[in-house]
Structure 1
Amino acid sequence: MDVRRLEVLRELQLRGTVTAVARATHRTPSAVSQQLKTLEREVGAPLTERSGRGLVLTPAGEALARAAADVAVAIAHAEETWRTYLASPEGRVDLALFPTGGSMFLPRLLGAVRAVPGLEVVATDVDPVHADFARLVPDFDVVLALAVGPASGWGDRDIVAVHLLDEPLDVALPVGHPLAGRDAVTPADVAGEPWIGVPADFPYERLLREVERVAGSPLRVVQRFSDTRVTESLVAAGEGVALLPRFTSGAPGSGVVLRPLAQLAPARRIAALLRRETVERPSVRVVLDALRTIAADLTA
């Protein structure tokens, strides 16, 4: 089996369409299809099948794609072993992250990698409302992802998810609010307050429904914003209360205090997603180690 044709199959598993594979590998769609047909002849089994107007992997195709990932891991490991032998970790690491994740991790991360000669991190922010973080993995070395609630889908694909931390989501109250002096608040305490909510398709929306369920009464949402900085400024102005992430909200002087939400204790899970073969790169391991250290310091 030709390694390059295995790479094409692996890309189809990750990217989902022949067109996406062609674009990523600088081939034409017909060239990609031809590579897949040649690989099928080599292995003697159908690897793809029609689904609507596109292709999906057969069970044999899925199995061989996983094996192709193993081959890619072995090649990457051999290349990086040699590179490590010759020099320190170096090169460019492309990182995708959501805005508040950038606030939490990026300043310290850039400071940490600056101490490694020849290592460069280039970061791109992504919209956390509409991002399918796992789908970003083929185009970035590391994707800093978040999930609210139990379903993330990260484990459904042949990628590595490195858990970094669970960040609590607290109730944000204006300084001087009658509830601000408490150690924690309950859904019943805040159900009657005006709320600064989020767009209906934002993951936090389901948490507001949970507050309603436990409190036994609907919430009155007076404004909706996806930008936590706007939400925090409105809370500080006394326009309402909100759920905000603990590590990037309520700084001294912000006019906002954060209180844990008893009975629900909502949180968002933050992880680094990447290809299995990418983990073998020393430059990527330096970035992962730095992310783990920052996460440990935040939760401490």
Structure 2
Amino acid sequence: MEPLSPAFTIDLRRLTVLREVQRRGSLARAAEALHLTPSAVSQQLAALARELGVPLTERDGRGVRLTGQARVLLAHADVIAAQLERARADLTAYGEGGRGTVTVGCFSSGILGLLPTALRAVRDRLPQLRVDVVEAEPPDVFTALDAGQIDVAVAVDFAAAPPHTDRRYTREDLLTDVLDVALPPDHPLAGRAEVPLRELATDPWIVGNALSCCGAVTRSVCAAAGFTPEIRHAVNDWAALAGLVAAGQGVALVPRLVRSLYAHQALALRPAQGEPPSRNVFVAVRAGAERDPVLTAVREELRTAAAVVAAAGVR
């Protein structure tokens, strides 16, 4: 390729494609996340390589892998993206705040147990602001955040979520959401004050998809208790899960964020014995966007709502 020109420029949209390839590990998975064809992703990378005058991919069997130059570029890409977000935030702060639209991506139980209180407070504080909500979990919620399709991500820490050290995001922990054991009312352990998880090793389980946050957390909690659950029913909807437990079809772990769903269900909710299984809920924005006054207001109200939930114990 031609040597680097002192006047070279970077198409930021192509840089986003390169970041997604790094995150997903393949052209095909990046294409799926970006709603493009693998051919289009390959073309974007080729165009970016020509633009810069350095190779960005190399053959690796039937696929491709990123070159050393690509990884050097990606180290700068996070800084570039954060600086652009700071510029956007400064422009917003300069003008009149509290207008426009903010889109929040959130997991299902967070939408039920956390967002209503926060969104009511945002509406009272910024009545001219429109807030849209999209149900999404990692990694998709962060792909949408990177692409600017959402402005705020509310998520749970698990394998598909980015690490705390990821420089692309500014994040804050909101609360620790405890998981309780849901049992049919006639289950032998339903009368216990606390339930030893190991004693449920031979029960049928009702568990969400392995790629979902609660599905993944339930599997890891059972593994830590010393067994692999027999998953009889794969259910992601919390109301449906409660109905199956109440009907005696199995046991489950349910987050306290959705406890209000079970107020009239004939099932027993009991704490797990010992250290309670839990998941960490956090909010993230693109690095640099934390200075945006509107996003600051949304994040403040999320923190306040989370504090109310934590104080109540949702028990």
Q: Which TM bucket (shorter chain)?
A: 0.7 to 0.9
**Is 1:254–2:265 an aligned residue pair?**
yes
Q: CA deviation at 1:179?
A: 3.2
SS state at 1:249 partner: helix
SS state at 2:16 partner: helix
**C-alpha distance 3-105 of structure 1, shift in aligned 2 (>3 A):** farther
1:65 pairs with one of 61, 74, 79: 74
**Map of 2:133 onto structure 1:** 123
Give distance in 1, aligned partners of 2:127 and 2:187: 50
* Unmatched tracts of structure 1, length 5 or more: 41-45
**C-alpha distance 31-247 of structure 1, shift in aligned 2 (>3 A):** closer
C-alpha contact (below 8 Å) 2:58/2:67 kept by paired residues: no
Give distance in 1, aligned partners of 2:192 and 2:255: 18
**Map of 2:176 onto structure 1:** 166
Q: CA deviation at 1:153?
A: 4.9
Give distance in 2, aligned partners of 1:292 and 1:36: 43
**Map of 1:38 onto structure 2:** 51
**Normalized against structure 2, the TM-score is what?**
0.73
Matches for 1:8-157 after TM superposition, within 5 Å: 8=13, 10-16=15-21, 30=43, 33-40=46-53, 46=54, 48-52=56-60, 57-115=66-124, 116-126=126-136, 128=137, 132-139=140-147, 140-148=150-158, 151-155=159-163, 157=166
Partner amino acid for 1:173?
L
Q: CA deviation at 1:232?
A: 0.9
Matches for 1:195-214 after TM superposition, within 5 Å: 195-199=205-209, 202-203=215-216, 204-213=218-227
**Normalized against structure 1, the TM-score is what?**
0.76
Overall identity of the aligned pairs, in %: 26
Partner amino acid for 2:58?
R
Give distance in 2, aligned partners of 1:22 and 1:234: 35
**C-alpha distance 147-80 of structure 1, shift in aligned 2 (>3 A):** closer
C-alpha contact (below 8 Å) 1:73/1:280 kept by paired residues: no
CA RMSD of aligned residues (A): 3.6
Residue deviations 1:118-156, cap 9 Å, x none?
A: 322211113x5x8544333323222222244xx345027
**C-alpha distance 10-219 of structure 1, shift in aligned 2 (>3 A):** closer
C-alpha contact (below 8 Å) 2:105/2:152 kept by paired residues: yes
* Unmatched tracts of structure 2, length 5 or more: 1-5, 22-26
1:283 pairs with one of 287, 291, 294: 294
